[in-house]
Amino acid sequence: MNEETIKALLEEVKSGACSPEQALGQLRELPFEDLGFARLDHHRGLRTGQSEVIFCQGKQPEQIISILKHLGAKSQNVLATRLVPDHAERILQHFPNAQYDPLARCLLFHPLEEPSIPGKILIMTAGTADLPVAREAWITARYMGHEAETIYDVGVAGLHRLLAQRDSMDSAEVLIVVAGMEGALASVVGGLVDQPVIAVPTSVGYGAHFQGLAALLSMLNSCASGVGVVNIDNGFGAASLASTIIRRINKNR
Amino acid sequence: MNEETIKALLEEVKSGACSPEQALGQLRELPFEDLGFARLDHHRGLRTGQSEVIFCQGKQPEQIISILKHLGAKSQNVLATRLVPDHAERILQHFPNAQYDPLARCLLFHPLEEPSIPGKILIMTAGTADLPVAREAWITARYMGHEAETIYDVGVAGLHRLLAQRDSMDSAEVLIVVAGMEGALASVVGGLVDQPVIAVPTSVGYGAHFQGLAALLSMLNSCASGVGVVNIDNGFGAASLASTIIRRINKNR
Amino acid sequence: MNEETIKALLEEVKSGACSPEQALGQLRELPFEDLGFARLDHHRGLRTGQSEVIFCQGKQPEQIISILKHLGAKSQNVLATRLVPDHAERILQHFPNAQYDPLARCLLFHPLEEPSIPGKILIMTAGTADLPVAREAWITARYMGHEAETIYDVGVAGLHRLLAQRDSMDSAEVLIVVAGMEGALASVVGGLVDQPVIAVPTSVGYGAHFQGLAALLSMLNSCASGVGVVNIDNGFGAASLASTIIRRINKNR
Amino acid sequence: MNEETIKALLEEVKSGACSPEQALGQLRELPFEDLGFARLDHHRGLRTGQSEVIFCQGKQPEQIISILKHLGAKSQNVLATRLVPDHAERILQHFPNAQYDPLARCLLFHPLEEPSIPGKILIMTAGTADLPVAREAWITARYMGHEAETIYDVGVAGLHRLLAQRDSMDSAEVLIVVAGMEGALASVVGGLVDQPVIAVPTSVGYGAHFQGLAALLSMLNSCASGVGVVNIDNGFGAASLASTIIRRINKNR
Amino acid sequence: MNEETIKALLEEVKSGACSPEQALGQLRELPFEDLGFARLDHHRGLRTGQSEVIFCQGKQPEQIISILKHLGAKSQNVLATRLVPDHAERILQHFPNAQYDPLARCLLFHPLEEPSIPGKILIMTAGTADLPVAREAWITARYMGHEAETIYDVGVAGLHRLLAQRDSMDSAEVLIVVAGMEGALASVVGGLVDQPVIAVPTSVGYGAHFQGLAALLSMLNSCASGVGVVNIDNGFGAASLASTIIRRINKNR
Amino acid sequence: MNEETIKALLEEVKSGACSPEQALGQLRELPFEDLGFARLDHHRGLRTGQSEVIFCQGKQPEQIISILKHLGAKSQNVLATRLVPDHAERILQHFPNAQYDPLARCLLFHPLEEPSIPGKILIMTAGTADLPVAREAWITARYMGHEAETIYDVGVAGLHRLLAQRDSMDSAEVLIVVAGMEGALASVVGGLVDQPVIAVPTSVGYGAHFQGLAALLSMLNSCASGVGVVNIDNGFGAASLASTIIRRINKNR
Amino acid sequence: MNEETIKALLEEVKSGACSPEQALGQLRELPFEDLGFARLDHHRGLRTGQSEVIFCQGKQPEQIISILKHLGAKSQNVLATRLVPDHAERILQHFPNAQYDPLARCLLFHPLEEPSIPGKILIMTAGTADLPVAREAWITARYMGHEAETIYDVGVAGLHRLLAQRDSMDSAEVLIVVAGMEGALASVVGGLVDQPVIAVPTSVGYGAHFQGLAALLSMLNSCASGVGVVNIDNGFGAASLASTIIRRINKNR
Amino acid sequence: MNEETIKALLEEVKSGACSPEQALGQLRELPFEDLGFARLDHHRGLRTGQSEVIFCQGKQPEQIISILKHLGAKSQNVLATRLVPDHAERILQHFPNAQYDPLARCLLFHPLEEPSIPGKILIMTAGTADLPVAREAWITARYMGHEAETIYDVGVAGLHRLLAQRDSMDSAEVLIVVAGMEGALASVVGGLVDQPVIAVPTSVGYGAHFQGLAALLSMLNSCASGVGVVNIDNGFGAASLASTIIRRINKNR
């Protein structure tokens, strides 16, 4: 429903093929579908350049199933994120071919295809406990068509482990840094590379970590520039942002 | 001081042109200069792809002058940010040709040149009071060689003002959204475009705004994807991140 | 026990129909009933214009049953809110005709009657996960005699979904906006309408949402005017406030 | 620019009086004026039912003067809020007939007219130090055409002072409760009346008051229903919300 | 081990009945017993005027049993607070005559005796959900020998319920006010009486209550004077403080 | 205006000496005086047992002067607290005989009289920087007629300084402990004495002290029982609470 | 991989025993082993002087087992901390000779050996509920080869219990103070000794303790000097720091 | 006043050279001097091994002068910290030979002597703005007799600057890391060395730095072990802790 279609509509009004009342109605109608409790936005992919994703936290299994059914009829694949194992089990009974990744808490309708969009996203974690968030980012990136590489457990307390990854870092278009504790990895990586760095604080920690606040504040105050931050544990959001950057790169190729 | 130069050095050792002791010394010596209280990093531009910038907050005028003098001898232009008017006045006495922008609290040694790097950065603000932060972002972007456009006062309480900017938004490579109060502009813009959005919460607000916390949390929790957040009032950081993205685009052109 | 009754009492004292001691006693006695652990306030409806509602959180099932029994003897219907399923089950054993809504966590003694008070309350949610809070607001509004409409999943990341609801918004007397995440819907709706907007932040979110704090701060800092905020997840409170407004409208009709 | 005008425009297209290109242009153009740093929204009054108000905090005096000049040419009166004395002085040099209220930190172009809209707004404060906020609310209410009454210093530590105001409370359509310290006045008033209560926490307090947080949390957790909360010290917002309610009452009269 | 006993000891040294070495040893030895993981302080009652109480939170059942056994051998009665039902069950197997109060989560070795110390402690709660904390305070007060009365559910949203308790309030030596939500009861009671008021914020609430923070801040900022605050949910602490006050009164009788 | 006077009034109604209308009027009228911006409560002393005190923070000098003039006409002495030096200077021009204490920021109309109420209040501070708060407590205590002693700089880092004050501590009826930093003095004193301890956290500290939060939380979590806490820097409140306790002791003598 | 080895490598390059390409490769390769999800750092002991420790929180049992297997092949003993009982059970099935301490939630492969490093670490707790943290510190200290003594339940509310431990305190090289509640023990001990004091706040407490925040802030604001603080409940970190100090002492012996 | 002196006293009692009353008096008297508002502790040096230091924040200039005069009479040198320039000026009028360091805000009576205690303290800062805190630490260390070296501006965004300091780091006994922003330097240094690391968060930063909170939390959550944290901006405390460690090393030499 862009300017072209509006202009076409107005031409129809001019020619009498469409009455003003009809045109008014069409201007008001928009391409989403109403399930009562949720509004599916079939054109979001066109509008923001991203495929359909369902954020499952806080939704009842029945609601998720209903949304999936409607989306499944019209789209090729769907990614469901933040899906707890109990709910996944009930949903898999309706979609036995879907695949659930318990570490990332993600569900996919179809297997991931080979990356179709050039430009690597490198996902690095400070520790092993940050894996679930990194995995959510990896699945999201691959689901959106991107090449994605993961490097785990390269926290700053052992700088040599990180510095050994120089080649992988240099060959990426965007880097996603996933870190809990004091989140220092974002600053150190940000100081080493000249690509965009997306920092994901995680809730990995205890005590004065305050469920991720320490890592979040640390990353927001990074002394390195070129670092953007997403919400705590938001692997999906980091990959989405990385995707917008890489699609932009390819649009300009 | 990259792999190439190290390899060249090692070849010299092999050929005897350089003794192991000398090579060791060179491997240890790095291209920074020591002022006692600050270490100038002349090669940072090469390493992270950014020009030299001085963050003046917390530094004494004498220290800033000393740093500027050393940098001035070796670089084309320098950007000083977070420079309060009192300190700017004292610094201008030493560098009468420099230009101080009191709104952005930035100082430049030389006038801004015409943008040399293709790809527009669009900087939008929710309100008029967000201008200082947007201006810091604009100067930074232009200083780094980018094309930058600003649109002020398009907050979500008057959606029609924002929607009228559709063309400007569509023609940008990266959008920077600067907003205080509830920071909702980041989510609304994030839902309208498919380019990367960099959100800058500002400290504009009062009461339960808690010096920018409200806008910061709002942006981190954006229901739109593709949004990266930088520190409160960090116009410089937003432009730096935008710059890394656009330089990446051009590297792949 | 208003001025009229006090004046009548004083007239009785004057005429000798009531001794000063008796009058003093009546002035001190007030129309509530003591259950030991709770004081039922049978006249609250008269005093603040609202029907009887029990807030069940923190109360033992036995206490709730006892309160319900006493209220049941004297009132037409009772609304119990914040009633967890386990407690609801035990209570339904004593009141088999009552109806429990697990989504809203509300229990009613009698079915909801047709709205008797003119003036529509429109309840909008940003996402599907905000439904429980919206449902609590809807039941409360209907229980208090109001016409109530719900529109779900019209968050600001897809503005067209929201703008398509223009007619519903225009036909309401009061709008209740229920939103988690960054809570931006309150500002956007507030900028679109000229009716009172009641904003309900929800605890829907994660990480830097801090159990609803992000949405709460966002709504308190709304750049749109005409917005009042209630506690996080307080669907009941929003409907109560809407009810006071609409009853005021009808009082003046 | 409502449905009527759009339909009229479409009729013109049908009749040929307006070309599709012209219609497209008109649909895109919206009634705001661009000052570069601010966008004046001349039709906001029509859209949200409120008169023009400038929030001056964070704006430079020159910006305020420029905005005022543009507004002054097209509107009857303007209210400037959060204007510090220093800035007010500079602005009064350009608008010598304007009136500045240092307590409320408000400036008006023309004297307040007699209330034109029936329905009293009662503004109560817990203490004397809450006056500036109450005064901002009073000026805003009067500026918007409403009858407004103020009662100061009726905090809950002296209940008899509050209870003596029963008549004033009963005769109001909406009550605004302004309180710092522990903000308990909102709950007590909310329990006494059946009209809508708008609670304004103030930053009056010290220590564990945390600049208004204590009063804010207190009001959000009010045990009385029918209470909506606005931001700390937001007298303007409270009056705006009261205004939407009373205009709603009169629309239905 | 007060000055008297030290002086007596020194007299013994003077007379030769005790050698300097022995005296040194006695001066160093203090009347507590070491269980390895806990140090029982048998003379605390003498020193601070309070009976033995075990705070069970965070202690293993075996540790509690061991402490109880040692205390049981030397003292008349013991009060165990913050004892969860699971642990209580295991402890009752060793002490079948002890009595557990699940509401207050307290355990007593012997039944409560009739109050032996003159001076009533009045314990008031704002709501029914505040009962567990009030009950802990009541048991503590009675265990320490005091007369204690409880009045439940007299929150400020229904002032008449509170004002009807005037006589009970007037006849108390100390008042303990237990309230969650906005905690306003402490201020209102503090303004009505001239006795010491001990305010106990409770974690009863939700959302912006932040587990008792709202009530705590409210009480600390009480506009009424003569109010002291204890920790959230600390019924024991309130009763202990009340006890020190009343014992002080009786000491001076 | 107690039960006695109400009963007398009712007797007059009975006898015809007073008409019901007149009685109604008298019941509604209460003994406070209205200054427009403040309500003086001349009978507060009778009701809560405390003398008149003005909390000056947030009040304009003119308002304070006006309040003082009205009070001065009817009372013996007045205490003004939280009065900044600038305001004090302007007030002293109207009341040249008043005395201002710049350390405590208090002003008195008449010199302090000799203590008239038996029972010593001991005020202890952890450090020298806590003096202003302790001094406010001391003046308040003395103004209310109490004997008050101060011991400064006995923080827990030098236990021997504290333990040397054993006699002073033993001879007090109530102890007020004023401490910033980590506020540990309250716990240590609470463990040493059997009298009521009132803890006053101060804002003395820096960094992670967060303007008194550290000391406040420390005191609320005191491992010693018998400790009540007042707001940060609230020396007045501590003395008021101490006063209610001592007056209670004397009432029972 | 220190300067010596680099110089040796360069000598080999000079002599032709190693080609520049090979040298470059060796300079890049570092002594860690990659498990895919974790990087084992076999030389950490050499680099930072500490033995291998696995922090298990957030790691899956399978990950822990895999890490343990790799480490077990190359090291003498391993310490696993923050291991919950459920996970410990599964791990013990693979390593039946390992020993799990449920109080400290630690697992060891081999029994603790007799201390081999001179210099006692004294670990003191304020209460019995602090034992788990103290136990983690004790096991860590012993695992690292140190002599360690524990003294439990010497909180400041009973100073005599603490002062009786003078000898133990004097004979330690480093003191670790473990305390929840108000954490005052750190300040008192810090004022009594001239050795380094490491303060460990614990999450023992409730209400305004905010999961250890109160004790943490208290310790950071200690009025005694010579106190360093570690994270809440971080017994391991305290012992690690103590170990670095004592190893430093022995290095200089 | 240690065991030896007590025993000697007791011997005197035995021999009759001292009466029990006199002994009691001596046991009670302790070696501090009372100035009314401050208690000088002349023996603190003996007890905790540290020289006399005055923390001036919150103290009036007159109080500081008085304290200095008393100390000056009995001690060799005194260090005054946190002394603002205004107060320093007034104090220098009384002590013209004292030296004030405006960067560190410290004052010394006598020039610093050459270090007398072996063992270097290395003080590193992340940025130039951290200098004042580092300088306070340096002066404190030198005042206490230690060798101290400073390295400024080696933040982690330029790792090569830090790694070039390897030799200085290896030759220190204790390292003090002073950092604002995200405070990551503490973790990186902690991972590189095997000496004790004392981390000092600074308030250098803005926005989500929250006056040092970000750096503080970051350091408390350091993924490197062997790190102890002191309060924000507490350069004095860091040096004091370093001093206790080094004195311990020398005691064992």
Model pLDDT for residues G105-147, shown as the tens digit of each residue: 999 988 999 999 999 999 999 999 999 999 999 999 999 999 9
Question: What element of type H or E holds H197?
Answer: strand H197-201
Contact at CB, B182 and C222, closer than 8 angstroms: yes
Please provide residue E179's backbone torsions phi and psi, each rounded to the nearest 5 degrees: -150, 140
Q: What pLDDT does residue D108 have?
A: 94
Question: What chain G residue is nearest to E29 in terms of C-alpha separation?
Answer: G164
Contact at CB, H206 and B28, closer than 8 angstroms: no
Q: What is the least distance, in Å, from the CA of G74 to any CA of chain H? A: 21
Q: Taking a C-beta distance cutoff of 8 angstroms, is the pair D202, D130 a contact?
A: yes
Q: What pLDDT does residue F63 have?
A: 92
Q: What pLDDT does residue F169 have?
A: 94
Q: What pLDDT does residue D44 have?
A: 52
Residue F26: pLDDT band (50, 70, 90) is low
d(CA B152, CA H64): 53
Q: Which of B125-134, E158-167, G42-51 is modeled with the greatest confidence?
A: B125-134
Q: Where in chain D is the domain with CATH 3.40.50.1970?
A: 117-251
Tell which C residues from 181 to 210 touch A, by Cβ distance under 8 Å.
Answer: 204, 206-209
Q: What is the least distance, in Å, from the CA of E214 to any CA of chain C? A: 12
Q: What is the least distance, in Å, from the CA of B154 to any CA of chain C? A: 11
Q: What pLDDT does residue E202 have?
A: 98
d(CA F218, CA D243): 45
Percent share of chain H, pLDDT over 70: 86
**pLDDT tens for residues H32-80?**
566 677 776 654 554 455 568 899 999 999 999 998 888 764 556 889 9
Interface test with D, best of B124, B125, B161, B206 (most D CBs within 10 A): B206
**pLDDT tens for residues D115-144?**
999 999 999 999 999 999 999 999 999 999
Record the tokens describing residue E228, joined without a space. 């002291």
Chains B, E in contact: 3+ Cβ pairs under 8 A? Answer: no
* Residue D28 backbone zone (phi > 0: left; psi -120 to 50: alpha; other: beta): alpha
Interface test with E, best of F3, F244, F250 (most E CBs within 10 A): F244
Q: Which of D43-52, E171-180, H83-92 has the lowest mean pLDDT?
A: D43-52
Q: What residue type is assigned to position E187 of the chain? A: S
Helix (H, G, I), strand (E, B) or coil at H112: coil
Residue A186: pLDDT band (50, 70, 90) is very high
Percent share of chain A, pLDDT over 70: 86
User: Per-residue pLDDT for H211 more than 80?
Assistant: yes
Q: Cβ neighbours of residue H166 under 8 Å, at least 6 residues apart? A: H192
Q: Which of C44-58, C237-251, D236-250, G236-250 has the lowest mean pLDDT?
A: C44-58
Q: Which of F11, F19, F20 sits opposite C20 (nearest CB)?
A: F11
Q: What residue type is assigned to position A169 of the chain? A: M
Q: What pLDDT does residue A228 have?
A: 98
Instruction: Indicate if the alpha-carbon torsion angle F121, F127, F132, F133 is positive or negative.
Output: negative
**pLDDT tens for residues A107-158?**
998 899 999 999 999 999 999 999 999 999 999 999 999 999 999 999 998 8
Q: What pLDDT does residue C92 have?
A: 94
Q: What is the least distance, in Å, from the CA of E166 to any CA of chain G? A: 31
d(CA B162, CA B126): 9
Check residues B86 and E34 and name the one with the higher pLDDT.
B86
User: Per-residue pLDDT for E46 more than 50?
Assistant: no
User: Per-residue pLDDT for C32 more than 50?
Assistant: yes
Percent share of chain E, pLDDT over 70: 85
Residue E161: pLDDT band (50, 70, 90) is confident
Chains B, D in contact: 3+ Cβ pairs under 8 A? Answer: yes
Check residues F230 and D26 and name the one with the higher pLDDT.
F230
d(CA B197, CA F5): 72
Neighbours of H250 (CB within 10 A): 14
Instruction: Indicate if the alpha-carbon torsion angle A239, A241, A244, A246 is positive or negative.
Output: negative
Give the torsion through C-alpha atoms of C87, C90, C93, C96, to 10 deg: 10
Q: What is the least distance, in Å, from the CA of H13 to any CA of chain E? A: 6
Residue A5: pLDDT band (50, 70, 90) is low
Q: Which of A28, A63, A233 sits opposite C164 (nearest CB)?
A: A28
Q: What pLDDT does residue G64 have?
A: 92
Chains H, A in contact: 3+ Cβ pairs under 8 A? Answer: yes
d(CA F85, CA D26): 62
Residue A98: pLDDT band (50, 70, 90) is very high
CB-based contact, C28 to chain D, within 8 Å: no
Neighbours of D116 (CB within 10 A): 9
Contact at CB, E24 and H14, closer than 8 angstroms: no
Residue C243's beta-bridge partner residues?
A: none
Provide CATH code, domain B117-251: 3.40.50.1970
CB-based contact, C253 to chain F, within 8 Å: no
Record the tokens describing residue G166, joined without a space. 């003078």
Q: What pLDDT does residue F32 have?
A: 56
Integer angstrom CA distances of residue C245 from C48, C176, F95, F208, H134:
12, 12, 50, 45, 60
Q: Cβ neighbours of residue F240 under 8 Å, at least 6 residues apart? A: E225, E226, F50, F140, F144
User: Per-residue pLDDT for A171 more than 90?
Assistant: yes
**pLDDT tens for residues H30-41?**
445 666 777 766
Q: Taking a C-beta distance cutoff of 8 angstroms, is the pair A193, H152 a contact?
A: no
Question: What chain E residue is nearest to G124 in terms of C-alpha separation?
Answer: E37
The H helix count followed by the E strand count for chain A is 11, 11
Q: What pLDDT does residue H30 have?
A: 41
Q: What pLDDT does residue A229 have?
A: 98
Residue B29: pLDDT band (50, 70, 90) is very low
Q: Which of A46-60, D99-113, E102-116, G87-101 has the lowest mean pLDDT?
A: A46-60
User: Per-residue pLDDT for E69 more than 50?
Assistant: yes
Q: What pLDDT does residue B24 have?
A: 65
Chains G, C in contact: 3+ Cβ pairs under 8 A? Answer: no
Percent share of chain H, pLDDT over 90: 66
d(CA D183, CA D215): 5
Q: Which of F205, F214, F223 sits opposite G181 (nearest CB)?
A: F223
Q: What pLDDT does residue A2 have?
A: 44
**pLDDT tens for residues G162-182?**
988 989 999 999 999 999 999
Helix (H, G, I), strand (E, B) or coil at G214: helix
Q: Which of C102-106, E68-72, F207-211 has the lowest mean pLDDT?
A: E68-72
Residue C219: pLDDT band (50, 70, 90) is very high
Q: What is the least distance, in Å, from the CA of H195 to any CA of chain A? A: 14
User: Per-residue pLDDT for G29 more than 70?
Assistant: no
Q: What pLDDT does residue B43 have?
A: 47
Residue H5: pLDDT band (50, 70, 90) is low
Q: What pLDDT does residue B85 have?
A: 95
Q: Cβ neighbours of residue E72 under 8 Å, at least 6 residues apart? A: E78, E95, E109
Radius of gyration of chain C (CA): 21
Question: What chain H residue is nearest to B232 in terms of C-alpha separation?
Answer: H207
- If you average pLDDT over residues G227-252, what whole number do you get? 96
Q: What pLDDT does residue G8 have?
A: 75
Q: Taking a C-beta distance cutoff of 8 angstroms, is the pair D186, D216 a contact?
A: no
Integer angstrom CA distances of residue D240 from D54, D187, D247, E238:
13, 21, 10, 43
Subunits next to H (3 or more Cβ pairs <8 Å) are A, B, E, F, G
**pLDDT tens for residues G69-110?**
887 645 568 899 999 999 999 999 999 989 999 999 999 988
Question: What element of type H or E holds G79?
Answer: strand G79-81
Q: What pLDDT does residue B170 have?
A: 93
Q: What pLDDT does residue B6 have?
A: 63
Q: What pLDDT does residue G241 have?
A: 97
Neighbours of C92 (CB within 10 A): 14
Integer angstrom CA distances of residue F81 from B206, E196, F85, F183:
27, 21, 11, 24
User: Per-residue pLDDT for G48 more than 90?
Assistant: no
User: Per-residue pLDDT for F47 more than 70?
Assistant: no
Q: Taking a C-beta distance cutoff of 8 angstroms, is the pair G239, G137 a contact?
A: yes
Q: What pLDDT does residue H77 have?
A: 82
d(CA C199, CA C216): 9
User: Per-residue pLDDT for B134 more than 60?
Assistant: yes
User: Per-residue pLDDT for F215 more than 70?
Assistant: yes
- Low-confidence residues in chain D, pLDDT < 50: 1-2, 28-31, 43, 46-47
> What interface predicted TM-score (ipTM) does this complex get?
0.85
Q: What pLDDT does residue B81 have?
A: 95
Task: For residue E246, give the nearest of E97, E139, E161, E146 by alpha carbon.
Answer: E146
Q: What pLDDT does residue B158 have?
A: 85
d(CA C213, CA B180): 17
